[in-house]
Amino acid sequence: MSSIILSINAGSSSVKISVYKTPTQKNTATSTSPSNPDSPSTPSATPIPLAEATIDNLTAPPARLHYTRFPHHRILAQQLPDVSSQEAAFTYILEHLTHDEGLAELNEKADVQFTCHRVVHGGDYARNQVIDKETYENIEALSDLAPLHNAGALSIVKATTTLLPSAKNIAYFDSSFHSTIPPHIHTYPIDPSVARKNKLRKYGFHGISYAFIVDAVATALHKPQDQLNIIALHLGSGASACCIQNGRSLDTSMGLTPLAGLPGATRSGSIDPSLMFHFTHSAGKPSRSSSSTLHITQAEEILNKTSGWKALTGTTDFGKISSSGAEADELAFAIFADRLQNYVAPYFTKLKGEVDALVFAGGIGERGERLRAAVVGDVKCLGFALDAQKNASPGDEVVVDISAEDAKYKTLICKTDEQLQMARGVLEDQRRFAGDAFGI
Ligand SMILES: Nc1ncnc2c1ncn2[C@@H]1O[C@H](COP(=O)(O)OP(=O)(O)O)[C@@H](O)[C@H]1O
Ligand SMILES: CC(=O)OP(=O)(O)O
Ligand SMILES: [Mg+2]
């Protein structure tokens, strides 16, 4: 019999929820590229998508609902002025799904057997975990290190325990994919005893997306995952770059927290650490949004929530920034292209030029025609080049090759899908542990 999986992705500016049913023996679909590199000949089953709901604009109200029930029913951008938090977005979407008469498989909350939660900071967890009291508390303890994310995800976990009491809650961590980063890359040059005690190291994020990208690009290029070398750029409200060697993370631009590296919608990205002490004299004081479970300083508040595109341009919409022509928007655009070049070129040398592709993903990576052209233009001397026509109209495939015919290296767009990656994890774990021990 099929089970219903609710796959929940609490990002910094949006909540995306996809509904899947597990395939029965008869309708088992397969992915040509195995996601388990240890068993290269075993095809993996794919969850069957039933519906997808997104509430976005949480950081630029009013929030909006987009809903698709497959294959045909679609609601575009319905405004929701009363929804302003990740938890409110989750509750709204759950009501919407259970009241959609066309979604026969999910009439009651008791129909949901599995809820997958994207948790950005998982500390030392190298793989997914069933959320029990101990896991919940461990994730809560990491909230200060992902101030835009972990608390929001946990508010949804809490809501599921009351609203969906029969569902098994499983956490998938953005940081797990980066557990392969070697010590000389994840270690900060600071007092090692303090670093050890406070677990201060590079963790890296967007890993669920990078795992999806590895699977999808390996399939598209007909290469085993463990031979795939790519430079992947996940560019959304938060943006990061990842250097992937043999299908594994070798380096990434985010660090101890998702603030490091590239700028984002409301984040500064990397700056000189001394800057904050010249920006405000109260950098170290607790911010007003601190609570009993979330302790953040004014410096963290400023750099995470009121910097980035919002500070430079007044909008978090990178589509608008890319097309308005306004002076402030042009500066923000040029800053992003410049900072991206600062990762693409060194990652190319880290891979010793053995690069299968440069891959664009995330809302901006997938839709930002002009940004892709700017970044690829900036690294043209390495052997990347775009086909302008393909870049302008890439079509609907999961992976699209937008490289010029004479390019030495490929440039691809990958429509990443964190919810699908997590739902696939449920099927893999069901197979591996016969539905019981589940990854612990
Ligand atoms: N046509 C476009 N060109 C460039 N950026 C776009 C375009 N459309 C949307 N975006 C941007 O994509 C970003 C959201 O990306 P997404 O990955 O969906 O978000 P999140 O990080 O919240 O998961 C926003 O900054 C949005 O402005
Ligand atoms: C890790 C991170 O920044 O996630 P998002 O882009 O979804 O905010
Ligand atoms: Mg995201």
CATH architecture of structural domain 207-414: 2-Layer Sandwich (3.30)
Mean of the per-residue pLDDT values of the chain: 92
> 56-61: long-range contacts at Cβ-Cβ below 8 A with a sequence spacing of 24 or more?
56/13, 56/14, 57/13, 57/14, 58/12, 58/13, 58/14, 58/15, 58/83, 58/84, 58/85, 58/86, 58/89, 59/12, 59/13, 59/237, 59/265, 59/266, 59/310, 59/316, 60/13, 60/315, 60/316, 60/317
pLDDT of residue 27: 52
Q: Known binder of ligand: residue 149?
A: no
Q: With b meaning 16 or more CB within 10 Å and e meaning fewer, what string describes 190-222?
A: eeeeeeeeeebbbbbbbbbbbbbbbbbbbbbbe
Q: Which of 18, 318, 416, 419 to mutate to test the pocket of ligand 1 (most atoms within 8 A of CB)?
A: 318
In this prediction the pTM is 0.94
pLDDT of residue 329: 98
Mean predicted confidence (pLDDT) in 152-181 = 95
Residue nearest atom 2 in ligand 1 by C-alpha distance: 319
Q: Which of 174, 215, 251, 417 is catalytic?
A: 174
pLDDT in tens, 60-69: 889 999 999 9
CATH architecture of structural domain 4-181: 2-Layer Sandwich (3.30)
Residues by chain with Cβ below 5 Å of ion ligand 3? 11, 236
Mean predicted confidence (pLDDT) in 343-362 = 98
Ligand of minimum distance to the alpha carbon of 16: 1
Q: Where in the chain is the domain with CATH 3.30.420.40?
A: 4-181, 207-414
Neighbour count for residue 406 (Cβ, 10 Å): 8
Mean predicted confidence (pLDDT) in 295-309 = 93
What does each C-alpha distance from 284 to 150, 199, 301 come to in angstroms? 21, 20, 10
Q: Which of 56, 145, 203, 205 to mutate to test the pocket of ligand 2 (most atoms within 8 A of CB)?
A: 205
pLDDT of residue 269: 98
pLDDT of residue 98: 94
Ligand 1 pocket, CB under 6 A: 11-14, 236-238, 265, 316-319, 322, 362-364, 367-368
Query: Annotated catalytic, 174?
Result: yes
Q: Known binder of ligand: residue 237?
A: yes
pLDDT-based confidence at residue 435 (cuts at 50, 70, 90): very low
Residue nearest atom 8 in ligand 1 by C-alpha distance: 319
Q: Which atom of ligand 1 is closest in space to residue 362's alpha carbon?
A: 17
Q: Known binder of ligand: residue 370?
A: no
pLDDT-based confidence at residue 294 (cuts at 50, 70, 90): confident
Ligand 2 pocket, CB under 6 A: 11-12, 120, 174, 205-206, 236-238, 258
pLDDT over 70 for what percent of the chain? 93
Distance CA 373, CA 377 (A): 6
